[in-house]
A and B are shown apart, each in its own frame.
Chain A
Amino acid sequence: MDAEAAKVLGAGLAAIGAGIAALGVGNVFAAFLEGALRNPGAADGQQGRLFIGFAAAELLGLLAFVIAMILVFVA
């Protein structure tokens, strides 16, 4: 396979990671809402943990984006 084609294909494949990270972020907020609607009184105290979970899940999607950018512009 042509090296240039392999790079672009790899960047496209990295986009799968971004999509799966979206599932993860959706899961974090879905689980939070589910818990928060059952016990609204405890919801405000857990917002910090919500965003820690969000940041951890989001990071992998961002890493997928970095891989795509490196493949397209640097490699």
Chain B
Amino acid sequence: MAESGKIDPMHQFTIEPLFGTDHLAIGGYNIAFTNSALYMVAAALVLWIFVLGGMKRALVPGRWQVAVEYFTGFINNLLLANVGEGGKKYVPYVFSLFMFILLANFLGMLPLGLVGLHPFTFTSHFTATGVLAIMSFAIVLIVGFAKHGFHFFSLFIPHGTPAPMIPVIFPIELISFMVRPFSLGLRLFVAMTAGHVLLKVLAGFVINSSNAGVGYGLTVGTASFVLMIGISALEMLVAVIQAYVFALLTSVYINDAENLH
């Protein structure tokens, strides 16, 4: 890579089968255990350990329990503010979703490259975020139709719409409703991808300018490296904000299903 002076910023998103499972298949479909799957398992495992450590239910909570209760309380308030009392039963789902995405974003940013491993952010793949978005959307559809039956379609006609406007408003609202899973999944996927590409492009500047000579390395390389540190901090902010936005929009959509308008 370095010898050609061309660093491919998209290489980090390559999915590779691990542990010799390249040709593992069920019914003709390859189910190889990939680096993406490894990081999903890692995120789920870290989340499991995190919550398990905080389930002591002590009257005077320790630090760990306070940390877990802070997050559950945060999601609880989020659903209470957006859905109301009926939102209580979605706390486990939205909490798992939020923490899973948050941990995935952060695990992908660990500086594991220093010890020769390749960190992988599976939220930078539309297949992963798309499935998460479809899960949220499926809950909205199932709850909406189970609770309101065909009355759920009144969601597409806002209150006080004049009768002549209904044929125009209905398709617009329907399209804006059907686009939701795409925009939900796309937002997380692109935000993570863009940040990681930016970091790798800047890393390419540092390497190439250092190879070009001491003068270039000191001027261009140092400036790019300082910028990389700043962008890394920004990426952590984005990791938290995108997880929060995913949970927030999920709860807003659940509110539509739970309370119609």
Contacts and interface: CB of A to CB of B under 8 A. Distances in A.
Pick the most buried of A45, A52, A73: most chain B CB atoms within 10 A of its CB: A52
Interface string A58-71: 11001101100100
Majority secondary structure of chain B interface residues (helix, strand, loop or mixed):
helix
A73 B8 CA distance: 11
A32 interface: no
Nearest to B246: A55
B10 A52 contact: no
B200 interface: no
Interface stretch (B54-62, B138-146, B187-195): B187-195
A14 to B, nearest CB: 12
Contacts of B190: 62-63, 65-66
B81 A55 contact: no
Majority secondary structure of chain A interface residues (helix, strand, loop or mixed):
helix
Q: How large is the interface on B (under 10, 10 to 19, 20 to 34, 35 or more residues)?
A: 10 to 19
B186 A59 contact: yes
B245 A54 contact: yes
A62 B78 contact: no
Interface in B204-261: 241, 244-245, 248-249, 252
A65 B196 CA distance: 13
B235 to A, nearest CB: 15
Given A62-B194, A65-B194, A73-B10, A52 B186 contact: no
Pick the most buried of A54, A55, A62, A65: most chain B CB atoms within 10 A of its CB: A55
Interface residues of A, number: 14
B253 to A, nearest CB: 11
Given A48-B248, A65-B194, A73-B10, A55 B187 contact: yes
A64 B84 CA distance: 35
A51 B10 contact: no
B172 to A, nearest CB: 16
Contacts of B82: 48
30 contacts: A45-B81, A48-B78, A48-B82, A48-B248, A51-B241, A51-B244, A52-B248, A52-B249, A54-B241, A54-B245, A55-B245, A55-B248, A55-B249, A58-B187, A58-B191, A59-B183, A59-B186, A59-B187, A62-B186, A62-B187, A62-B190, A62-B191, A62-B194, A63-B186, A63-B190, A65-B190, A65-B193, A65-B194, A66-B190, A73-B10
Interface of A: 45, 48, 51-52, 54-55, 58-59, 62-63, 65-66, 69, 73
